[in-house]
Amino acid sequence: MDLQETKAAVLAQIDRRAGEALDVAKHILNTPEPGFREQGTSRFVAQKLSELGIPFEDGLALTGLKGMMTGGKSGPTVGVFGELDSLIVPGHPFADPETHAAHACGHHTQIGSLLTVAMGLQAPGVLESLAGRVALLVVPAEEFIEIEYRDGLRSQSKLEFLGGKSEFVKLGVMDDVDIAMMTHTENQDWRYTPGTKLGVGANNNGMIAKRIQFNGVASHAGGSPHLGVNALNAANIALMAIHAQRETFRDDESIRIHPIITKGGTVVSSVPADVRMETFVRGSTIESYMAAGKKVDRALRAGAMAVGASVDISTIPGYTPLAQDETLTEIYVSNAAQLVGADKIARMGHRSGSTDMGDISQIMPAIHPYVAAATGKAHGNDYVVLDYELAVTTAGKAMAMTIVDLLFDDAQRANSIVRDFQGGMTRSGYLSWLRDIYSEETYTE
C-alpha cells in the first residue's frame, strides 16, 4: 500500500468501528471520576485495550495506562494522550449524584478518540507499513483540583507532582516517546467564524498553585473577640491585597489569579482561627507567573500581619505554558482539512487556561488541537458535548492520519521533527525545575 492507500484503509476501518469508540465515550460520561481517583475508568479502559489485543501497562501514576502498538520496522514512538479525569461540578446534568464529579471539560471523549486511533491503525496492513510505534497514553489528572487531597497523596509518597503528565514524565513513562498529540473539546460557540470545527496552534498559560493557611487565635466570637486573632479577616485583607496587584500586570503576561477559600472558620460562635485558601497564579511565560507569585506571597503576608495572625504558604509546581510544534501542526492541518475542510480550521492564539500538555510540549514536539464539539461554559454546569462524531471519530481520524504521515517512508517526517525540535527543557531539567518550585514558608508577626 502507498501512503494514500494506507490512510484510506485507516479511515475505512474507523468508519466500520466508530460506534464502539462513541459508546466508550458515553459510558465514561456516565461514570465520572476526578483525577487520581479514576480507578473505575481505568479498569474500563484496560478492558477495552484487552479486547483490542493491545499490550499495556497499568497502575501508572495510580490509575494511568500505557498501551503500545508496534509497526513493521523500528523507528520513533508517537504518543497519543487520552485524559481519564473529570471535574467536580454540582448541578451538571451528568454529575455523579454523590461525588458531584462531572465531565465538564469533555475529557471522556478523549478516551474515545484515542481508541479510534488504535482501531484505525489495526486495519489490515497498516502497522506493517509504519516504522516506529504508537503509545496509547491513558493519563490521570489533567485538571489541577483537590489540591489538599493530592498533597496528602504526596505526603504518603504515592505522588510527587499533582498533575498526571508530570508524573508520567517522572516515572519514565515518556522516556521512549518522541512526539505527542491529543485532542481536546471546545465550545461550538467560540470566538472563531461560526461553523469552525477545529482549532490549532494555541499557546496556553502556564501556572503554579498555592495552598495557604491563616492561623489566628480562637475565642468567644460574642463574649471575647478581643482575645482572639481573626484568621478570616487576615484572608479578606489578603484577597484585597491580591486584587491591588492586578493593575501591575501587563496585558501580554495574561496573568490570572483566582483564589478560593476552602475553609472559612470552624464554628460560627468562635473567632476563626484556621482559614484556608487555594489559588493558581497563571501567566503566559514562566518568568511572568513566577514574579506574580511573589506578589501574591506579599499580599498574603500583608493580610496576616495586619491582624497579628500567621500564614503558611505552600507553593506547588503546576503546568508550563503550551508551545505547539509548527511542523507537526501543519501535517495535522493537512489531514484534518480533508475531514472538515480547510476553511473550518482556526489558527488559535493565546489562551489563558492551562494544561499539562504544556509540560509535554516543553520536552518533545507536541500538538493539542481543539474540536468545537460542545456547548456551555467549560468547567461550568452546562458544558455538554453535542457533536460526538467530531469529538471522537473525526478527532481520532485526524490524529491517525497524522501518525501515518509521521511513520510512513521509514518515519522520515517524524525523525526530522524530532531532530529539529528546539525544546524548552530536557526531561531531567524539567523535573528538577519542578522540584525547585516546591516551597513551604511561614510568616509570623
Given a contact cutoff of 8 angstroms between Cβ atoms, the answer to whether 249 and 292 are in contact is yes
- CA dist., res. 282 & res. 209, Å (int): 9
Q: Which residues within the stretch 351-410 sit at the binding site for Zn ion (CB under 5 A)?
A: none
Question: What nine digits make up the cell of 117?
Answer: 486511533
Q: State the nearest-atom distance from the C-beta of 14 to Zn ion, in Å.
A: 24
Q: Which is nearer to Zn ion, 96 or 409 (CB)?
A: 96
Q: State the nearest-atom distance from the C-beta of 357 to Zn ion, in Å.
A: 9
Q: Which is nearer to Zn ion, 242 or 384 (CB)?
A: 384
Q: Which is nearer to Zn ion, 32 or 265 (CB)?
A: 32
Quote the distance between the C-alpha of residue 124 and its chain's center. Answer: 33
Q: State the nearest-atom distance from the C-beta of 105 to Zn ion, in Å.
A: 3
Q: Does 105 bind Zn ion (CB under 5 A)?
A: yes
Q: Which is nearer to Zn ion, 185 or 233 (CB)?
A: 185
Q: Which of 302, 308, 326, 293 is nearest to 208 (CA)?
A: 293
Q: Which is nearer to Zn ion, 141 or 173 (CB)?
A: 141
Q: Which is nearer to Zn ion, 229 or 390 (CB)?
A: 390
Q: Does 87 bind Zn ion (CB under 5 A)?
A: no
Residues 6+ apart with CB under 8 A from 19: none
Q: State the nearest-atom distance from the C-beta of 10 to Zn ion, in Å.
A: 26
Q: Which stretch binds Zn ion (CB under 5 A): 88-96, 104-112, 283-291, 429-437?
A: 104-112
Q: Which is nearer to Zn ion, 143 or 178 (CB)?
A: 143
Question: What nine digits make up the cell of 79?
Answer: 504518543
Q: Which stretch binds Zn ion (CB under 5 A): 25-33, 101-109, 170-178, 242-250?
A: 101-109
Residue 281 corresponds to which amino acid? V
- How many residues form the binding site for Zn ion (CB under 5 A)? 1
Q: Which is nearer to Zn ion, 105 or 209 (CB)?
A: 105
Q: State the nearest-atom distance from the C-beta of 141 to Zn ion, in Å.
A: 11
Q: Which stretch binds Zn ion (CB under 5 A): 103-111, 155-163, 301-309, 398-406?
A: 103-111
Q: State the nearest-atom distance from the C-beta of 188 to Zn ion, in Å.
A: 16
Residue 102 corresponds to which amino acid? A
Bridge partners of 304, per DSSP, are none
Q: Which stretch binds Zn ion (CB under 5 A): 6-14, 98-106, 197-205, 361-369?
A: 98-106
Q: Which is nearer to Zn ion, 178 or 186 (CB)?
A: 186
Q: State the nearest-atom distance from the C-beta of 164 to Zn ion, in Å.
A: 12
> What is the gyration radius of the CA atoms in the chain, in angstroms?
23
Q: Which stretch binds Zn ion (CB under 5 A): 100-108, 259-267, 316-324, 369-377?
A: 100-108
Q: Which is nearer to Zn ion, 144 or 214 (CB)?
A: 144
Q: State the nearest-atom distance from the C-beta of 85 to Zn ion, in Å.
A: 9
Q: State the nearest-atom distance from the C-beta of 106 to Zn ion, in Å.
A: 7
Q: State the nearest-atom distance from the C-beta of 107 to Zn ion, in Å.
A: 6
Q: Distance of CA 45 to CAs 38, 56, 117, 303, Å? A: 11, 11, 14, 47
Q: Which stretch binds Zn ion (CB under 5 A): 97-105, 129-137, 164-172, 238-246?
A: 97-105
Q: State the nearest-atom distance from the C-beta of 232 to Zn ion, in Å.
A: 32
Taking residue 376's Cβ as centre, other Cβ atoms within 10 Å add up to 18
Site pattern 232..271 for Zn ion (x: CB under 5 A): ----------------------------------------
Half-sphere exposure for 26 (CA within 13 Å, toward CB): 11
Q: Which is nearer to Zn ion, 105 or 127 (CB)?
A: 105
Q: Does 207 bind Zn ion (CB under 5 A)?
A: no
Q: Which residue is nearest to Zn ion (CB)?
A: 105
Q: Which stretch binds Zn ion (CB under 5 A): 102-110, 228-236, 307-315, 387-395?
A: 102-110
Residue 250 corresponds to which amino acid? R
Q: Which is nearer to Zn ion, 105 or 138 (CB)?
A: 105
Given a contact cutoff of 8 angstroms between Cβ atoms, the answer to whether 43 and 163 are in contact is no
Question: Footprint of Zn ion on this chain (CB under 5 A)?
Answer: 105
